[in-house]
Structure 1
Amino acid sequence: MQPPVAPPIAERRPTSREIHGHTRTDDYEWLREKESPEVTAYLEAENAYTQDRTAHLADLRQAIFDGIKARTRETDLSVPTRNRGHWYYGRSFEGKEYGASCRIPVVDPDDWTPPRPAEDTAPDQPALPGEQVLLDLDALAEGHEFFSLGGSSVSPDGDLLTYSTDVVGDERYTIRVKDLTTGELLADEISGVLGGATWDRAGESFYYTTTDESWRADKIWRHRLGTAQSEDELVHHETDGRFWVGVGRTRSDRFLVIASGSKTTSEYRFLDADAPDTGWQIFAERCEGLEYSLDHAVIAGEDVFLVLHNHTGADFELATAPVAPTPAAEWRALITHDPAVRLEDVDAFAGHLVVHQRSNGLTQLRILELDGDGVGDDYLVEFDHEIYTVGSAGNPGFHQPVLRLGYTTMAVPSSVYDYDVRTRDLTLLRRAPVLGGYDPDDYEEHRLWATADDGERVPISIVARRGSREDVGGGTRPVPTLLYGYGAYETSIDPYFSIARLALLDRGAAFAIAHVRGGGELGRRWYDDGKLSRKQHTFSDFVACARHLVDTGWTTAETLVAEGGSAGGLLMGAVANQAPERFAGVVAAVPFVDALTTMLDATLPLTVTEYDEWGNPEADPAVYDYMASYAPYDNVAAVDYPPILAETSLNDTRVLYVEPAKWIARLRATAVGRQDFLLRTEMSAGHGGVSGRYKAWHDRAFTLAWILDRMGLAGVAP
């Protein structure tokens, strides 16, 4: 029997900084030198140690990967979406990582029923008659360890395609233009772009976004086809470091819009394609705390702007305004503010409006039918499940009479429906196939409610295989559970289905989502009560959810594993410090665990734009003290932590790899007891991890095997 391999030990090299009367000493800041061979060697040593410590899980990892692969239809096709004169769809192929995007011409302009391909279409054959391959993503990815498509957009006449790619993982994309009539690439090449491109209505130029040195989207450019990038026109430059920018086109095609936004304030500019000589105009000038969005609609024959805003209440109101600069006082309410209903978005069509909203923690789609007199019937698209997620998607046509929507639960795979507003018929077009005889009725899913320390009720969504909790006497028994959390940016982690998750459920575990404050599940107050000086609620809510699952018999502390990523990784680090006894293991993916160091450095990516989320500890001593009270790296203590798996990527520009690297180093130097800490760094990836579906499956299999091991289920067959 070989002796255990010793973990890498990072050398202590103290650096100190005086701020607000405090001396802050950091032993591991030297790990920030990304280009240093010494740092690379250290990260590789950590990877080797992690592989050694998890070598006994190799067969389980392979079994999980094989299970994901066996249950996924590898050669598949998405439901076609109609846009102008074509049906657009994606294809995937067995043995290939990325797939292809394709289209076919629309045959009958009055028929909105998407064409269906033959189930047995061979990969080397067209899935539908007249198929044109727009992008072969596997060909674009060839020769690259990492590949990501940032976006693609077809010109209004359908003849040109812009697409952007990143082959490093740092989210700096390069735009190319493809002539769809010849298949050739144009000479145009735009580098250093964030995301994709937006065409103007004439199809003669497109708009794109670039970032400043701190990775803040700050500039909008216009590129005219056939010219060099150096000749591009700077359309807008956002100089306020708290704001970022984006550009888009209304579904009606009449307006181009530039959005400037911070975490708390919005400002929109618009360009009228019917009157381009008027130039870009500000719709409503920024006013601290006023958030709004802008879209174009035609109601009762009148062109109006739809304004979704918080001027009259925190959970937003839908209003109309003239297609001209208009102050908030002159916006006319269409849906008045209701504190029980959070309005999140609105989509405008020629015959109806679709409002995305949430109430009591659930997403909803609300239809407002338009007639000659204005708004007619106003109603919800109804669904039966106790917990679910619904949203509209793939609806590019302003005049389309049907609404394409997506629906899922924690047991029901992602489903695509068409809702015909004329007939109010809801038609299931496709449910993502799960091979191997999957039946949603074999699983139970529930909404639970935990009680937080201050008495607030915190929702939990949970799913388990039916019968997994039954004991031999007919009662119930606790089951190992994975508890996931995020809790920031008003981002809601709504119920969703996952084939990979079946590796847990079919081995007898449950999966739960803690809908903690800082997210948006229960409206704007839910977000406000978990940010800035109330951030501790996010952490205590998660601990309360863990406590509730144990106290109600769903699980035990010895078999409860916690998981979160990015801002959810901050959550993981905080609860590991504050309640280590509650968890059998903690998975922290690309974790924001060195939050105080990051927020003290305004030159780092995203720091300034994040002040409205976390505060500015450099300028405000009270913010410094509060962040110092919860920041995971600063609060590592001499306690017995649960086993921790930290996962990061070397090229991540959102949460730098150095944060988890320093965190694990400090845990090893400080903690007592088990000292079971692993760091795994992807050396050719970014914030989203590895690229390619097979790589992603292997990546998830690694994490799930570690989780099952912590639960005591590593030897259980599905």
Structure 2
Amino acid sequence: MRTMLDALTRDLAPLGAPDPEPHTLRGRAGTRIDPYWYLRSIDDPRTQHMIASARTSFAALAERLAPAATRIEATIRSRVVEPDESYPVRRGSWRYLSRIEPDLDYPVHYREPVAGGPRELVLDENAWADGHAYFALAGLLIGDDEHTVVVGVDTDGSEQLRLVVGRLEAGIITRAEEIFPAGYGFVLSNDSRTLLYTRPDETLRPASVWAHRIGSDPSDDILVLEEPDAHYFLDVGRTKDRAFLTIQAESKRTSQWWLLDATDPLATPPRPFAPREEGRLYQLDHGPDGFYLIESRDDAEFRLFRTADPEQPLTEVDLLEDGEILEGFEITRHGLAIQTRRRASLVVSFLPWGAPASERRLLVDPEQPSTAALVGNLDLDDDEVRFETVSLVEPATIWSYMPTTETTTQRWRQRVGGDVDLDDYETRRLWLPADDGVLVPVTIARRRSAPAPGPVLVYAYGAYEEAIDPTFSISRLSLLDAGITFAIAHVRGGGELGRSWYDAGRLERKERTVRDLLDVVAGLVAEGIADPSAIAIRGASAGGITVGAALNRAPERFAAAVLEVPFVDCLTTMSDPSLPLTVTEWEEWGNPLESDVIAETMARWSPYDNLHEGTYPPILVTTGLNDVRVGFFEPLKYVAKLRLVNPEARVWIRVDDEQGHLGPTKRKDAWHDEAQVLAFVQAALTPATD
């Protein structure tokens, strides 16, 4: 099929590959020749030249896509209702909320007295972002004294935070101390006098926990705990009842927690909740009758336990039905709010204190594939249990369940403006067979009038036990309005069907993730949903492995692909422990330095290593120069090598100066970038008219 993208780009000459410089890599997978090793250096003139050439090439593509992208962006803006406010959440004597004002990029945070009274400004992100091309609020913490404030900000996308400690009075934050660098975890003691925070090491791993006395010089901060094992990340928190501050060390399959007095955390050394046991992964909280924790041992499914004291044995709280998978829980004033999965969908239930498991109440029973998730109470004294429901075609809605009356009330719903009639869209879940007979869940959304079979965009991830649950997107409506069906392939390696689903798609079994995606694509064709000549695939970060490997194996099956900040040079990265995150990632991908099986398997599916001659579909790649999770050089090398082995390849890369792994923080920039991607996909899936 000749497409609109073919017509738009027919006179754009393919950009040539940069000059290769063969570099020999030796390992358990044998000898490999990397022609673009030098692109790892941002200071190499050849790297700078490729970035400049890539920008010129992408600018030419963007110019051709501009009419469609501009229309899509205008449609997105017309459907975003402004101003908009979040549902207020109680904490202490205040309710906290945020508000988006028209034409501003960031929210403004407020609080209002529970007892009634005027609203008070807490923090205006727009003011804090002034002068920064990139700004991410990574945490806003207000102490129990309701005046001490800790603000975590990232102003370059590097994910190294600056903590600003101050005092909030009458809507004004008086800044006192600044701490840099810090990680994402930070928590205040009950008396608001001590701040615990994590500090990254040279590989950007949160490797130590420090204590800062409010009002003191940060250079006098005290080391509380250090984690020498590079497999583990540290984090800090506080139990729901405010009895303990916590420190958590967690790898991909093992965790350990320590407890500190929440009022005076430096009074005694951190007390381990339990000795570290390889293969024991858990999360805990403390409530009126002791500790509750969800625990997995040796990659088994999570189970719920309680104990009055860490020194006492755990007692299992047996409440799951057959086939139900435990995801998490929340301690509330009147009982446990419980998050589980049923047939790949998230659901929420409630168990009153002291009640038998048979009295657990299901709070939502979705009739279509949707997501029901706990959104959390900040205050144990709050009577409400709040949860959110959302699907691919239904906006997010927040509900309040009152255990005392057993009633559920809608509190807030995302508004959609413009000419949208949500009844014009539909969603459903398919179960499509993989080549080993296992059924893979696939969630689809389409406009009811869309052709079948017709064009389809398939999104896949499949890593880290992360579930790609259905959520609503105003921008995605533009895709559906163009007659394109959107599908999420819930491939193995993700968490949609529990730990066993995750385990089936990691380490030496990673190829299973890629095969699942190809089988889903075949299934969509067999079901009469997808036109085999009009299928695009999209993946981000670790999803870049899934999409990139699928492209290498069957490039002829796709009309286009989008790889956003993609992890594509995995064998090389996993063989270099000096890079950020590599050691911690070995439990996900395997260690090719120590295992022949891992090295040989990874060599078979690594997208960069398996690029080959032949016709690939048009590909759009993105990267950010400040990305610390997937180095900019991985996507850059991928594009360079694809052009080297296929001089006629139509592949473009958007290189962003001011962004990290998570993309733009300004919402108008995010709309602009997404509109470009959607214009690219639509053009690649639409037949040419001339």
TM bucket, shorter chain: over 0.9
| Contact 1:175/1:196, CA 8 A, preserved across alignment | no
Structure of higher RCO (CA pairs closer than 8 Å, 6+ residues apart): 2
| Contact 2:259/2:273, CA 8 A, preserved across alignment | yes
The answer for the alignment partner of 1:551 in structure 2 is: 526
Cα distance in 2 between the residues matched to 1:315 and 1:360: 15
The answer for the alignment partner of 1:388 in structure 2 is: 370
Cα 1:325–1:37 change in 2 (3 A) is: farther
Amino acid at match of 2:500: R
The answer for the alignment partner of 2:659 in structure 1 is: 685
* CA deviations over 1:308-333 (Å, ceiling 9, x no partner): 1124981111111133345xxx2111
1:374 deviates by: 8.1
1:48 deviates by: 1.3
The answer for the alignment partner of 1:111 in structure 2 is: none
- SS, match of residue 420 in structure 2: coil
- SS, match of residue 475 in structure 2: coil
1:437 deviates by: 4.0
Amino acid at match of 2:431: W
* CA deviations over 1:188-226 (Å, ceiling 9, x no partner): 100111125211111001111111111211111111111
| Contact 2:545/2:567, CA 8 A, preserved across alignment | yes
The answer for the alignment partner of 1:318 in structure 2 is: 304
1:8 deviates by: 4.2
The answer for the alignment partner of 2:89 in structure 1 is: 81
| Contact 1:163/1:196, CA 8 A, preserved across alignment | no
Answering whether residue 558 of structure 2 is matched by residue 572 of structure 1, we say: no
**Structure 2 residue aligned with 1:133, among 121, 126, 130?**
121
1:343-358 to structure 2, matched below 5 A, reads 343-358=326-341
> Structure 1 unaligned runs (5+)?
109-128, 470-476
Answering whether residue 276 of structure 2 is matched by residue 268 of structure 1, we say: no
1:586 deviates by: 0.6
**Structure 2 residue aligned with 1:450, among 419, 429, 432?**
432
The answer for the alignment partner of 1:369 in structure 2 is: 352
| Contact 2:319/2:358, CA 8 A, preserved across alignment | no
Cα distance in 2 between the residues matched to 1:679 and 1:554: 30
Cα distance in 1 between the residues matched to 2:205 and 2:416: 40
Cα 1:712–1:437 change in 2 (3 A) is: closer
- SS, match of residue 517 in structure 1: coil
1:284 deviates by: 1.2
Cα 1:714–1:499 change in 2 (3 A) is: farther
| Contact 1:369/1:375, CA 8 A, preserved across alignment | no
Calculate the aligned-residue CA RMSD, in Å: 2.0
The answer for the alignment partner of 1:55 in structure 2 is: 63
The answer for the alignment partner of 1:19 in structure 2 is: 27
Answering whether residue 194 of structure 2 is matched by residue 205 of structure 1, we say: yes
Cα 1:448–1:179 change in 2 (3 A) is: same
- SS, match of residue 56 in structure 1: helix
| Contact 1:312/1:337, CA 8 A, preserved across alignment | no
Cα distance in 2 between the residues matched to 1:214 and 1:75: 41
- SS, match of residue 577 in structure 1: helix
Amino acid at match of 1:677: V
Cα distance in 2 between the residues matched to 1:21 and 1:503: 45
The answer for the alignment partner of 2:575 in structure 1 is: 600
Amino acid at match of 2:684: R
The answer for the alignment partner of 2:4 in structure 1 is: none
Cα 1:714–1:307 change in 2 (3 A) is: farther
Answering whether residue 41 of structure 2 is matched by residue 33 of structure 1, we say: yes
* CA deviations over 1:83-130 (Å, ceiling 9, x no partner): 11001000111111112111011116xxxxxxxxxxxxxxxxxxxx51
Cα distance in 2 between the residues matched to 1:378 and 1:184: 44
Cα distance in 1 between the residues matched to 2:530 and 2:476: 17
The answer for the alignment partner of 1:163 in structure 2 is: 151
Cα distance in 1 between the residues matched to 2:264 and 2:571: 49
The answer for the alignment partner of 2:6 in structure 1 is: none
**Structure 2 residue aligned with 1:285, among 275, 283, 293?**
275
Cα distance in 2 between the residues matched to 1:430 and 1:166: 30
**Structure 2 residue aligned with 1:144, among 132, 146, 151?**
132
**Structure 1 residue aligned with 2:293, among 294, 301, 307?**
307
| Contact 2:274/2:310, CA 8 A, preserved across alignment | no
Cα 1:312–1:265 change in 2 (3 A) is: closer
The answer for the alignment partner of 1:399 in structure 2 is: 381
| Contact 2:210/2:222, CA 8 A, preserved across alignment | yes
1:375 deviates by: 7.3
* CA deviations over 1:374-414 (Å, ceiling 9, x no partner): 87831211233220101111411112211111110111001
Answering whether residue 105 of structure 2 is matched by residue 97 of structure 1, we say: yes
Cα distance in 2 between the residues matched to 1:556 and 1:689: 31
Cα distance in 1 between the residues matched to 2:368 and 2:152: 40
TM-score, with structure 1 as normaliser: 0.92
The answer for the alignment partner of 1:379 in structure 2 is: 361
1:513-662 to structure 2, matched below 5 A, reads 513-662=488-637
TM-score, with structure 2 as normaliser: 0.95
The answer for the alignment partner of 2:466 in structure 1 is: 491
| Contact 1:282/1:325, CA 8 A, preserved across alignment | no
**Structure 1 residue aligned with 2:671, among 679, 697, 711?**
697
Amino acid at match of 1:323: D
Cα distance in 1 between the residues matched to 2:235 and 2:135: 23
The answer for the alignment partner of 2:408 in structure 1 is: 426
- SS, match of residue 360 in structure 2: strand
**Structure 2 residue aligned with 1:185, among 171, 174, 178?**
174
What is the count of residue pairs matched by the alignment?
A: 680
1:5 deviates by: 4.1
* CA deviations over 1:641-697 (Å, ceiling 9, x no partner): 11111111110000011011101111111137x511111111110001112100000
| Contact 1:205/1:225, CA 8 A, preserved across alignment | yes
Answering whether residue 73 of structure 2 is matched by residue 65 of structure 1, we say: yes
The answer for the alignment partner of 1:232 in structure 2 is: 221
Cα distance in 2 between the residues matched to 1:462 and 1:3: 35
Amino acid at match of 1:273: A
1:41 deviates by: 3.1
Cα distance in 2 between the residues matched to 1:18 and 1:663: 20
- SS, match of residue 556 in structure 1: strand
Identity of aligned residues (%): 35
Amino acid at match of 2:308: P
Answering whether residue 269 of structure 2 is matched by residue 295 of structure 1, we say: no
1:714 deviates by: 8.7
The answer for the alignment partner of 2:390 in structure 1 is: 408
* CA deviations over 1:605-636 (Å, ceiling 9, x no partner): 11000111111001222211110011000001
- SS, match of residue 156 in structure 1: coil
Amino acid at match of 1:288: E
Amino acid at match of 2:73: F
| Contact 2:541/2:566, CA 8 A, preserved across alignment | yes
Cα distance in 2 between the residues matched to 1:494 and 1:337: 21
Cα 1:312–1:28 change in 2 (3 A) is: closer
Cα distance in 1 between the residues matched to 2:306 and 2:605: 43
1:345 deviates by: 1.1
1:538 deviates by: 0.4
Cα distance in 1 between the residues matched to 2:650 and 2:298: 51
- SS, match of residue 105 in structure 2: coil
- SS, match of residue 495 in structure 1: coil
Cα distance in 1 between the residues matched to 2:683 and 2:10: 21
Cα distance in 1 between the residues matched to 2:38 and 2:545: 21
Cα distance in 2 between the residues matched to 1:527 and 1:61: 37
